[in-house]
Chain A
Amino acid sequence: MSYNINKKGYYGEFGGAYIPEMLYPNIEELRQNYIKISEDPSFKEEFNQLLKDYVGRPSPLYFAKRLSEKYNTKIYLKREDLNHTGAHKVNNTIGQILLAKRLGKTRIIAETGAGQHGVATATVCALMGIECVVYMGEIDIARQAPNVARMKMLGAKVVPALSGSRTLKDATNEAMRDWINNPVNTHYIVGSVVGPHPYPDMVARFQAIVSEEIKTQLKEKEGTENPDYLIACVGGGSNAAGTYYHYLDNKDVNIIAVEAAGKGVDTGESAATSVLGKEGIIHGSKTLLMQTNDGQITEPYSISAGLDYPGVGPMHANLYKTGRAEFIAITDDEAMTAGLELSQLEGIIPAIETSHALAVFEHKTFNPDDIIVVNLSGRGDKDLQNYIDYFKL
């Protein structure tokens, strides 16, 4: 059994493309072309060149000595925070903008939660000279002001999503509606491994560079490609998908997925989809999502805008359902504490999303000789105000 996508666009029973007919031509165009284009040697050359010279890849795999000493195990950090624009998101936007160009698209839309994907999209649009519109929940615009400013400076138009919970879910709805209204000239750069097939697979493939590099780097440092554990935070799940990608079917490697418990999984203010979700359809994908008994999608909560999503990508739903991955839910408080700890032990201020992954060390005991790789998916500059407010710094 493979944990990767099958020919029909499903991971186990999750995935597919549950889309209105209005989106069919766009999705079908992508489905027929995404592998052909992204496997083309000239595409690969351009993609890899940009990842190297523009993004700054490979990102280091850093042995976190003091953090490892504290938890008496061997912790490596995959430094996606050192990428241009400050997170893993840019790996995917570089891939998709090159794809959009080859499809002849002249306008780009995107959704964003924390603003990292919005910034990464605005960045590649500036790089290619293509018009860019980013949808962002009104609440997220308020709590991620620095990223809003960055997008504007990069020349993107930021449109507030005013419907529903006014966060990532609603920004995604608005982006899809924009696409319905502009079906011919526009490409929608989805920022995570969510949405209708082929998006989950396409985004996972562009993020797969993360695990590809981990294999080489770990081999150099430890003499083995295989860590004992991979740890990544999961909102929609793109940094996690990239971290797991080349290890999905390698059972020697344990997978840990970290979700946002918000104020606690039982408080009604949480985004821990694996615990609180049921199978259903969100944004065109059959997956696990938080919903009422009547099938209405509920409003998630997390201190971290990037994890504040009521679903997970279908790859992760399948990893959960099959037991391939262990899912751990981390509260706001635990995450904030872990973020401060990394700052003071290693001199690295992580994004609050990433802090959730780091909080696993307080939850779970590892053996001294375990090799653990955590995807340090983003840097904390955008979250400074939240950290300052929380710790009264």
Chain B
Amino acid sequence: MNRINKKLEQDKKLLSIYFTAGYPNIDDTLTTIQNLEKNGVDMIEIGLPFSDPLADGPTIQASSTQALKNGMTSELLFEQLKDIRKTVSIPLIIMGYFNPMLQYGVDAFCKKCQEIGIDGLIIPDLPVDVYHSDYKSIFESYGLINIFLITPQTSDERIRFIDSVSDGFIYMVSSASTTGAKSGFGDEQEAYFTRIANMKLNNPQIVGFGISNSDTFTQATKHAKGAIIGSAFIKHVTDNGVNTIDQFVKTII
């Protein structure tokens, strides 16, 4: 069983953290992953930086730009991660835009992920329809789970379709925004969270975008299985480096 599915069976609210690989320093990738696991984080999204991250706000844009300046590439990330399973056992997901994967070769990219022990991928600009028709069999042949996003604007019909092709969890974008753009949730989010909960989907949902502290984590996970923190974590390591990750995690759970 995939580590993501196993983790989702645990009777607890899950905290997932996104970070940009190779940021703040090129060699911080492993330390970040190890410190996150050590401090009780449940799942990690390793951000493969891209020059033109359309769905991201200024914080993740800046960390991506810096990581690329530091020399991060798909090849280097795989090199850094090659022995990761000797020290870390929690689910690892690579989150990145589609073009770098396309250039690496989708099959070769997935194969590498399997060799390393990556459990899933999140590719915001690979639409579920294209994935379903062109790439699903490749991902599945390497045992990789592909995670899809839904937003408050996604129709019920499309959510049902996404649920039907998902395995693992659904990434529930909390509001119509880029990453790090909004913090805190209002009535609109509450209504959306409740609407999705009432749909009784087959796959659990993990909420992302707009979660930055204990309050928003609690709010987001009232109905959902877990929550993802990205920009707030990037801001923390920008200011404090990767050796104080324990302090950040303590403010959430």
Contact = CB atoms under 8 A, between A and B. Distances in A.
Interface of A: 16-22, 24-25, 163-164, 169-170, 173, 176-177, 180-184, 278-284, 291, 293-298
Interface in B118-166: 124-128, 130, 148-151, 153-155, 158
B74 A295 contact: yes
Nearest to A162: B58
Given A173-B52, A184-B153, A21 B173 contact: yes
28 contacts: A16-B130, A18-B98, A18-B130, A19-B127, A20-B55, A20-B125, A22-B55, A22-B151, A22-B153, A22-B177, A24-B153, A25-B155, A163-B61, A164-B52, A177-B54, A177-B178, A180-B55, A184-B176, A278-B103, A279-B102, A280-B102, A281-B99, A281-B102, A284-B54, A291-B99, A294-B74, A295-B100, A296-B50
Given A22-B176, A177-B57, A183 B153 contact: yes
Contact of A296 (B100, B101, B128): B100
Could you say which of B65, B103, B154 has the most chain A C-beta atoms within 10 Å of its C-beta? B103
B214 interface: no
A19 B74 contact: no
A280 B52 contact: no
Contact of B99 (A163, A164, A173, A280): A280
A269 B68 CA distance: 20
A18 B98 CA distance: 8
A296 B68 contact: yes
Interface string B54-70: 11011001000100100
B11 interface: no
Contacts of A182: 176
B191 interface: no
A180 B209 CA distance: 13
B216 interface: no
Interface of B: 50-52, 54-55, 57-58, 61, 65, 68, 73-75, 97-104, 124-128, 130, 148-151, 153-155, 158, 173, 176-178, 181
A282 B177 contact: no
Contacts of B55: 20, 22, 177, 180
Nearest to B50: A296
9 closest Cβ pairs, A-B complex: A295-B103, A295-B100, A21-B149, A296-B51, A20-B124, A20-B55, A294-B73, A25-B153, A295-B99
Contacts of A184: 153, 176
A25 B54 contact: no
Contacts of B126: 18
A25 B151 CA distance: 10
A183 B150 CA distance: 14
Contacts of A298: 51
B45 to A, nearest CB: 15
A21 B52 contact: no
Nearest to B176: A183
Contacts of A284: 54, 125
Contacts of B100: 294-296
B73 A281 contact: no
Nearest to A182: B176
Nearest to B129: A17
Could you say which of A21, A25, A298 has the most chain B C-beta atoms within 10 Å of its C-beta? A21
Contacts of A170: 52
Contacts of A22: 55, 149, 151, 153, 173, 176-178
Contact of B104 (A20, A183, A295): A295
A296 B102 CA distance: 11
Nearest to A165: B51
A284 B100 CA distance: 14
A178 to B, nearest CB: 9
A191 to B, nearest CB: 17
Given A280-B99, A280-B102, A282-B52, A21 B127 contact: yes
A180 B75 contact: no
Given A180-B176, A297-B52, 6 more contacts: A16-B130, A18-B125, A24-B154, A25-B153, A184-B176, A296-B68
